[in-house]
Amino acid sequence: MVRSKVPTVLFLMETKRSISEMRKFCYDLNFQSVLAVLSDGQSGGLGLFWKAGDYNEILHSEEKQGGSPKPLAPMLAFKETLLQCGLEDLSYHGYPFTWRNGRPSEAFVEVRLDRVCASTRWQGHFPSAKVSHLHVSYSDHDPILLDTQCGDQHARVRRKRLNRFEEQWAAHQECDKVIREAWNSHPPGGSLMFKEEVFWRQWSRAIWLPAGDKNTNFFHKRASKWQRKNQIDGLMDKNGFWRTDEQSIGLIAAKYFNNIFATSNPRNMEEVLNVVDRVVTEEMNQSLLKPFVGDEVRQTLFQMHPSKSPGLDGMSSFFFQKYWHVVGRDVTEAVLSVLNSGHVLTKMNFTHILLIPKKKDP
């Protein structure tokens, strides 16, 4: 029957055969794989046989280089198949193509034929999974490596989690109350940063938005995908060595930006200024030297986009605009103190440098 019907999947019940016998059947019937359940004496036993061959298709036109263009219909069918199966391509790190035809010059073709796909549930179990395209010289296919620990997560440096105020929290019935209680606290010196710390401690104990639990899998999936895409796995130092540990990556990035923004300590500034045309009049200078006032602080704040990236305190412009009636006085006093005195607290004059790749594998 198998030879006449040539099925791609075969399921047998009551096989009454051992695992080794089922594997022999798999070979004799020309199937590639078998999943067998051992029989119980002279009863029971299950066998699932299937054929699995190469599926030489791509998802996007840029996954092929050289040769004639791939037609759109098979790519759309491949995407639809993954969607119906609840699978998503995990992307990759490394060279973009995994197969080549080995022909010279104009006949040379490269294609990304090998990939790893996974369900949302699997990605939830392995959020740091990473797919790497390796290279070998003795095959037309490059091997791909799936690292579920992404280079030993246990060895990674554990950093303090940054708090960020989300705009949707403003709809929470507890939010306004928590903010008022935090800002009504009376720390020594009335520190604005202390009040922010009180807010984060109290808010961490508040009830999360019911809506925040909806579509959890969707948002977790998107966040994991974004994390994989934006992760920097290594940087090359000035000596041409590739560094992959987090400490070295951080040092390379810090030195690079220090060199860019550091001063060369020029000593002939007066000579330079003498040949620069004056564009600020005395009247303009007097206006610029006036002390800052509270209205200017508020006006500037409300001109900022509410959703722009927050500072290290995690408070976006939206937070201060939305709750200005609560936090406005403290914010104004803190800003005016810095602007009019010229003295800035170290914690306020601090920032993070975030490197975001703008293309695949830069």
> Is the confidence at residue 147, as pLDDT, over 60?
yes
The most confident of 126-130, 157-161, 182-186, 347-351, by mean pLDDT = 126-130
Which range marks the domain in which residue 295 is found?
167-341
Rounded to whole angstroms, how far apart are CA atoms 140 and 55?
16
Looking at residue 270, its pLDDT comes to 80
Q: Region 153-166: what's the mean pLDDT?
A: 55
Least confident of 140-149, 227-236, 300-309: 227-236
The verdict on 73 and 147 lying in the same domain is yes
Neighbours of 305 (CB within 10 A): 9
Looking at residue 217, its pLDDT comes to 56
CB 134 within 8 A of CB 144: yes
The verdict on 316 and 285 lying in the same domain is yes
**Is 301 within the bounds of a domain?**
yes
**Tokens representing residue 132 in the block:** 């790497």
User: How high is the mean pLDDT of the chain?
Assistant: 78
Phi/psi at 43 (nearest 5 deg)?
A: -140, 160
Structural domain ending residue among the three candidates 126, 155, 184 = 155
> Is the confidence at residue 110, as pLDDT, over 90?
yes
Phi/psi at 282 (nearest 5 deg)?
A: -65, -40
The verdict on 20 and 95 lying in the same domain is no
Better-scored residue on pLDDT, 186 or 182: 182
| H helices present in the chain, as ranges | 2-5, 19-28, 72-84, 120-125, 175-183, 192-203, 216-230, 246-261, 269-274, 282-288, 294-303, 317-322, 324-341
The verdict on 149 and 235 lying in the same domain is no
**Is 267 within the bounds of a domain?**
yes
The verdict on 226 and 255 lying in the same domain is yes
> Is the confidence at residue 153, as pLDDT, over 80?
no
Strand partners, 46: 13, 37
Domain total of the chain: 3
Rounded to whole angstroms, how far apart are CA atoms 11 and 15?
10
The verdict on 204 and 330 lying in the same domain is yes
**Is 348 within the bounds of a domain?**
no
The verdict on 178 and 321 lying in the same domain is yes
Rounded to whole angstroms, how far apart are CA atoms 16 and 328?
79
Q: Region 238-258: what's the mean pLDDT?
A: 84
**Tokens representing residue 103 in the block:** 């022909």
Confidence band, pLDDT 50/70/90 cuts, at residue 157 = low
Q: What is the pTM of this model?
A: 0.46
